[in-house]
A and B are shown apart, each in its own frame.
Chain A
Amino acid sequence: MFGHPGQQPIKNEADEVRLFVSRARIGLIISLLCLLAIGSRYFYLQVIQHEEFSTRSDNNQVDVRPVPPNRGLIYDRRGRLLAENIPAYRLELTPEEVSDVEATLGELAALVDIDQDDLDRFQRNRRHYRDFQGIPIVYNLSEQEVARLAVNRHRLHGIEVVPYLSRHYPYGELLTHVLGYVGRLDADDLQSVDAGNYRGTSLIGKIGIERFYESTLHGISGVETVEINSRGRVLKVIQRDDPVAGSDLVLSLDVNVQRAAHETLGDRAGSVVAIDPRDGSVIAMVSRPAYDGNAFVNGIDSTTYQGILNAPGRPLFNRSINGGYEPGSTLKPFVGLAGLELDVVDRSWRVFSNGEFFIEEGGRPYRDWKDGGHGWVGIEAALEQSVNTYFYDLALKLGIDRIHSYLSQFGFGRPTGIDLPGEGSGILPSRDWKRGRYNEPWYPGETVISGIGQGFNVVTPMQLATGVSALVNGGTIRRPRLLFAVKPPGGAATQRVVAPVIGEVPVSDPRDWQAILEGMRLVVNGARGTARSVSLDAPYVIAGKTGTAQVYGLAAGEEYEESEVAENLRHHALFVAFAPFDDPRIVVSVVVDHGGAGSTRAAPIARAVLDAWLQQEWRP
């Protein structure tokens, strides 16, 4: 393969040997020179510079240690502190200085509260720390514990109480689904960050805002060159490069509005999202049940964690961005707009509702919610009374392809891109989607129920709020933002963050949009509106749309009677709203799990949120 047959050169062995020996000699000389170079390098380090390295090494070790930066604080839009750093103490043990680690741990247990989880974590950490380093045992010591340890200090060698900055969330469970929490830095976290910058850091954002803006909040680690004695104690600081603190974040949340949503939702599972449609900033984002993120900061013990994990309603689940709900009638304004804007029907088009709708004679009936139907209705009345037949008929005329492409402009079927990790995408069904998911063709009946937001449709409360925002602001789709402004450390100017515009729904006739909004106004203010109670005593005009998401399907001819259905099979109640009608400043989407009809459970919550936001705006 590599040979060259047929050609045998005549070799002169003696010449070759002579050539080789001369080359080998050169090779040996070069080796000698290299050796001399390396040797003199060692001579330089070990003899000439010995003094310096000796002082850096001997009993007085010079150690380079990291100085962790202070984590940025988090505020709401009115300057209330949502996440703060509080001084705390942790207990550390340095194995090298302790003759019998187990016995010492036993002694410590008599002085401070050490549980099995702490011990397990300590043993795990022992493998990752060097023997002369302090290994944390317990975090967040109480004052009594610190005092007890101080008194017993003389007999506890290798035990140290170390001050550190812990994280605290003053509002507890009210904000955990937004802020997330920080937790102990572990090996997995180090994969995603610059490990050098985290050498001295003990807490890292695990979920929520804390995770999403980790790099902004964390800051840049400093370096301290210190002299330590052979026991590892710092004797003096030789040089120090100060760390750069993390930036403070200002969120667009308003704690007052957040609390109004949280409290009116009460013990019911569900979600409330409020967005300012003018700039895409998120005013409130509530998911219940919630939990207190403070429990996770210093390491949660497994009993507490199991308790939260297995609690009814899954508190760890963030319904606002991950809850998948059938949108039900809250999708009707979008379907109605599709019909008008795509010129499938015009604003004067009317449908006669007699209570039942058939695709073909003698087929399956699609029902209105009101026995006997609503009579002749146009688009505004159809929204006001939530007339299914209008939208059944319209959906058939539109066809699923046009419904899909029009509604997807409003962001349905994909994550909104809010600044939180792990958002869900919902489902906006199409032929392709169904083919991919079920390997089945699309049936006309599925188009019909898509017209009233049932069937395969799944939305998150965040998507609903974003979609309605676009509906009321003339079609501008913004990526919703929780971050309102960034305050860099050292008093530098605050940088305002603006929600980026990611799409525009084309407006072919503004009157089509007005008709839809008028229909939504009538839902709350019309004589036959499905959410008339919401407008009671309101100092501003509210518009909205109710919705009901089916939890289980009814057989043909079966009646849904809320009082007869078990709580966990009851429909989810939905309500979307905006106000004031002429100049919308807030859009709300409310979902109450198993809340029954949208008007009774969800609408009052929306009203409380609108009040909390608008009434304080009313009186400047």
Chain B
Amino acid sequence: MKKWIPHWLGMPRLDPVMLLLIGLVMAVGLFMVYSASGQNPALVERQAIRLGLGLVAMLVLSQVPPHILRAWTPWLYLAGLILLVATWFFGVGRGAQRWLDLGIFRFQPSEIMKLAVPMMLAWYLHSRLLPPTLRDVAVALAMIVAPAFLIARQPDLGTAMLVAVSGGFTLFLAGIRWRVIASMAGIAVAAAPLLWMGMKEYQRNRVRTFLDPDADPLGQGWNIIQSKIAVGSGGLTGKGWLGGTQSRLEFIPERHTDFILAVFSEEFGFLGVALLLLLYLAVIARGLFVASLARDTYSRLLAGSLALILFVYVIVNGGMVSGLLPVVGVPLPLISYGGTSAVTLLASIGIMMSVYGHRKFIH
């Protein structure tokens, strides 16, 4: 960029386009949290503080050159694995052991893995000849399966899948051959009954409910039915900000967290949804573009995977709210109320910015 600005002036290397895009998303998010929480300014304030924390993380990471990140990667991955094992033994949480209590604060080690798995795969593939050989693919798969298994048995199937998929993206971007992809897909289909047997009853219920929400309209199906009513009643242009009756009457569960898109759809209609989806698409496109400018294999694979996984969040959340996909606890990126995922997401944006700031032509 402007090379004549001396580095010691502290001008951070940021990606202005990306900053603008996520700024817009976060602004929408704060407005929606206000509306969905029943106009509770305290929640908005708390969310703003979390986003602020996330922005600081983003800022810090964007200044770390990718080769340093690369050097840290194995240790981060290892630490994440150890913490996951620790969660197995010392974890806390209602129903599922996902949290590690550190006295001062509690956090989810699985959240680290959302970044650490694509980082680790990028690290490994960085030194390989691409496209990867079968042996490389096998090693990479092991790196994905170990944490995914540990997370799945917490149990947190949603996060386990996100982690696995993010690793899968790295392999995909590394150019893994189509026939390998096809055979892995075949194995996955064959293993589906095994997965079903390994699921907990409540997880199966979610799948059943997804297949037939009207079977249990008071219990499991309630969320989906009410959410669909909210979305459908929004129409083309919506009922206006703060005008959603479905959400105001508290028919929608989790309406300021996982189901915030239902409130958005009710209040801003199809046009609003379309614009929001395009905004997310722009973020992804920008991320992939940044990746293509990257200086080395590691940066390229990592930035690309992080961009794609962001879009998976959007698709899964959008599908869940509209009854197209089963209910899994995946938030709408940077809009859903909640701290952990916001910080992780902004950290991944920070990594993309670092890749951008240290791209090929700057040196």
Contact = CB atoms under 8 A, between A and B. Distances in A.
Nearest to A22: B175
A61 interface: yes
Interface string A30-62: 011011011101110111011011101110011
24 contacts: A2-B120, A2-B124, A16-B130, A16-B175, A20-B301, A24-B304, A27-B288, A31-B284, A32-B281, A35-B280, A35-B281, A41-B319, A42-B265, A47-B235, A47-B236, A47-B270, A50-B233, A50-B235, A53-B233, A57-B229, A64-B225, A66-B218, A130-B250, A221-B218
Interface in B312-349: 314-315, 318-319, 322, 324
B337 to A, nearest CB: 19
Given A27-B308, A42-B270, A20 B128 contact: no
B233 A11 contact: no
B216 A56 contact: no
Interface of B: 74, 78, 120, 123-124, 127-131, 139, 143, 169, 172-175, 216-220, 222, 225, 228-236, 245-246, 249-251, 265-266, 269-270, 273-274, 277, 280-281, 284-285, 288, 291-292, 297, 300-301, 304, 308, 311, 314-315, 318-319, 322, 324
A52 B281 CA distance: 30
Contacts of A168: none
A50 B216 CA distance: 23
A50 B236 contact: yes
Contacts of B231: 42, 45-46, 53
A38 B315 contact: yes
B277 A39 contact: yes
Interface residues of A, number: 52
Contact of A11 (B129, B219, B308): B129
Contact of B234 (A3, A21, A34, A46): A46
A10 to B, nearest CB: 8
A1 B78 contact: yes
Contacts of A432: none
B124 to A, nearest CB: 6
For A38, A130, A221, the residue with the greatest tally of chain B CB atoms inside 10 Å of its CB is A38
Given A11-B129, A39-B273, A45-B322, 10 more contacts: A27-B172, A27-B173, A37-B324, A38-B315, A46-B236, A46-B269, A49-B232, A64-B218, A66-B218, A130-B249
B128 A31 contact: no
Nearest to B244: A57
B233 A23 contact: no
A19 B131 contact: yes
Contacts of A28: 284-285, 288
A103 interface: no
B292 A41 contact: no
A573 to B, nearest CB: 52
A77 B269 CA distance: 64
A3 B123 CA distance: 9
Nearest to B175: A19
Interface string A562-595: 0000000000000000000000000000000000
Given A31-B308, A42-B265, A52-B232, A20 B300 contact: yes
Nearest to A10: B129
B265 A46 contact: yes
